[in-house]
Amino acid sequence: ATGHGMADADSFVIVGTYSTCVSYVLPLTTTTMTTSASPDFELPDFYHFPPFFTIQPVLSTREKQLGQWRELILRYHTDLKIKTLVLHECPLWKNGAIGRELNDEEINIVVHDFVRSGHGEWEDPDVRTRCRILWRKPEQLASDVYDWAVANGFVGSVCTVYELHSGEDVNGMSFQGADEELLRRALGILEDQGK
């Protein structure tokens, strides 16, 4: 028991430990919170929990925490259609309501993990200040484009990258507004597959 009662595993997440033996959990719910970047972005409740802003020393807890950061970064940038994360300008790193923020070393740990997960890549690999957000991995995007083409009768037709990126026929699709370089990679995957 955690002191919060019993619940199923899908509704709670372990976010840290009080000691090496006792874990605590928070519900996976969201709260609409104003950030400097978007007044209507819904932040998860764990964003308001102070230990979230300190990289946890226990490896299993840290892995769960970094997973939460990955999901938050990806959802934030995908929902707001932001293609690049500028490391020291991202409003997610600071929660003024609770007086907590990640320091430079912690930001680097979080973003390095994000890149390693395959959802980001350095635009400037030598200095690592800008990370391209891969809303969907190239393989996922390729599958989405192909499924869209099949469903809409475009297999065997010619479409420009612009039409796939911004055309009327792609409203609401995962690749609408996607980074053009990423979209070209997805198309390259389809070409390699003979599709």
pTM: 0.68
Please give the pLDDT value at position 14: 39
Region 119-131 average pLDDT: 94
- The tokens of 168 are what? 């009327």
The model's confidence at residue 39, banded by pLDDT at 50, 70 and 90, is low
Asked whether residue 61 carries a pLDDT value surpassing 50, the answer given is yes
Asked whether residue 54 carries a pLDDT value surpassing 70, the answer given is yes
156-188 pLDDT tens trace? 888 888 888 888 888 778 777 777 888 888 888
Q: Write out the chain in H/E/C secondary structure.
A: CCCCCCCCCCCEEEEEECCCCCEEEEECCEEECCCCCCCCCEEEHHHHCHHHHCCCCCHHHHHHHHHHHHHHHHHHHHHCCCCEEEHHHCHHHEECCCCEECCHHHHHHHHHHHHHCCCEEECCCCCCCEEEECCCCHHHHHHHHHHHHHHCCCCCCCCCHHHHHHCHHHCCCCCCCCCHHHHHHHHHHHHHCCC
Region 76-93 average pLDDT: 92
Please give the pLDDT value at position 38: 57
